Amino acid sequence: MPEQKNGLAALYAGGLAALLASSCCLGPLVLLMLGFSGAWIGNLAALEAYRPWFIGAALAALWFAYRRIWRSTSDCRPGEVCAVPQVRTTYQTLFWIVVALVLMALVFPYLAAYFY
């Protein structure tokens, strides 16, 4: 059973790392757009020092998820999650959503000047 969840766990880890990597820059912008203000928003910039670590964790999690999700169906035993086409399609869709989040975390600091 733990083998079946490795792909999904890696996707969750990649998504969480992508959100943490963008929290220093994207977080204050989203809060300002929602109408929140205050000096405490500047404290979110303290997470910027950890951004490379979060991005590295996201990329590593994506690598492991990719290896689990796109493995051959012939490597799966009958009845395993990876042998079910609907589950594979769902995991692949989630994978690309997480990839988009990671790309946003990588690119947003360079585009932030256009939003502020």
Domain boundaries, given as residue ranges, for the chain:
2-114
Give per-residue pLDDT as tens, 17-34. 777 766 666 666 666 667
Q: Determine contact, residues 58/19, Cβ cutoff 8 Å.
A: no
pLDDT tens-digit profile of 24-83?
Answer: 666 666 666 677 766 666 666 666 777 788 788 888 888 888 888 888 777 777 777 777
The token pair that represents 58 in the structure block: 């996201």
| DSSP element (H, E) containing 115 | none
Identify whether the C-beta of residue 48 lies closer than 8 Å to the C-beta of residue 57: no
